[in-house]
A and B are shown apart, each in its own frame.
Chain A
Amino acid sequence: MNRKVLVAGLVVTLPLVGLMLMSLGRDSHKVESPLLGRQAPPFSLRPIGGGAPVTLESLRGKTVVVNFWATWCVPCVDEHPVLTAAPQRYGSDVVFLGVVYEDEEPNVQSFLREHGAAYPSLVDEGGKVSIAYGIYGVPETYFIAPDGTIVSKYVGPLRPDLLDGFVQEAQARAGTRRSDAR
């Protein structure tokens, strides 16, 4: 009788324990982007402060770094100096773009005046581009290869060493899946 109870208990609990062990060490908030290895969704967005719309199509042939951010996001403020210094380091082969996520244009203008801007930040009216890129929150950064393929996505504030690695990967190859999270 006791042996039967033990077997029945093991039958019920072992699969649950197995599931728990499989989940150990995994970030429950991390969801792999289905966009990796695919063509980046096209966009044509006007820059903050006015000017001609920036289209992704016009940047074909260059490595593109698209950073989704907002002024109310503390990690975005933390990574801002890293991204602001980046264009000068990489030269004209790598294009940096900011896409403003759920923020007011005057706030963004004020922030950029105070903290500096080294590349265009674009207005995403109605969150159209954020949704097309599967954004969950900010900051999130996509690295697009010269052929328009999304090579990698990073969730969280970028550090210079991480940025170097992702840019080099995007420059070196297209269509390889990679995802990293905080």
Chain B
Amino acid sequence: MKPTAVLLVLLLAPLAAAQTPPDHTPVDLAHVESIAGPPRAPRLTGAALEAEAKHIAAVLRCPVCQGLSVGDSPSAMATNMRQQIRELVAAGFDEDQILSYFEASYGEFVRLQPPLRGVNWLVWIAPGLGLLLGLGVVSWVLRGASTETPEAVAAAELPVEIVPDPLPDDPARAKAVLRVRELAYGWPGGLRPGKA
């Protein structure tokens, strides 16, 4: 072996050891095949394997975390799942097969991006529908406001007459109220102009 190759092996050995725990046993590929079918992607190695594993880990939810992907979580569970993803990618399983394998254990919840099937369509179209609905309501309200007649608008904007100038039954108190109105509003005799 050439000296450079020996040096490369020595340099990369600790990295490989760090990625594969010493007590790790490989994932049961026969069990994965029973769920996802036989591998249908090329067996990846090196940087291509790491890139594909990283991509899949990013769309898989960490089951023991709050809203974190397997790729982002530092938990032991996520570390184990990342290791399994690497093994499955190396064995030739594609993204859909690997997601199906984890989905068989955890349900659709484990996918950070729900697939477009069944009621999941609602998740994708509900925001657009909500926006359209909101625009519809706003335009309906605005159109209704613009079709109102000027008289109706003017009537709506007039101050509401709250009381028809009632007077107490007691003549003495009624006289006092009229006097106050005369002083306060300048109404002759305390009576609203045009109403006397």
Interface residues of A (CB under 8 A from B): 1, 4-5, 8, 11-12, 31-35, 41-43, 102, 125-128, 130-137
Chain A residues whose C-beta falls within 8 Å of the C-beta of B25 in the assembled complex? 125-126, 128
Interface residues of B (CB under 8 A from A): 21, 23-25, 27-28, 31, 63-64, 76-77, 80-81, 83-84, 102-107, 109, 133-134, 137, 140-141, 144-145, 156
Is the beta-carbon distance between A34 and B145 smaller than 8 angstroms?
A: no
Chain B residues whose C-beta falls within 8 Å of the C-beta of A34 in the assembled complex? 103-107
What's the least CB distance linking B170 to chain A, in Å?
39
Pick from A5, A8, A12, A128: contact of B84, CB under 8 Å: A128
Is the beta-carbon distance between A128 and B27 smaller than 8 angstroms?
A: yes
Pick from A1, A31, A42, A131: contact of B102, CB under 8 Å: A131
Q: Is the interface of B mostly helix, strand, loop or mixed?
A: helix
Is the beta-carbon distance between B23 and A126 smaller than 8 angstroms?
A: yes
What's the least CB distance linking A71 to chain B, in Å?
15
Is the beta-carbon distance between B133 and A11 smaller than 8 angstroms?
A: yes
A1-B145, A4-B144 known; A133+B80 contact, CB < 8 A: no
Chain A residues whose C-beta falls within 8 Å of the C-beta of B104 in the assembled complex? 34-35
Chain A residues whose C-beta falls within 8 Å of the C-beta of B134 in the assembled complex? 12
Is the beta-carbon distance between B31 and A42 smaller than 8 angstroms?
A: yes
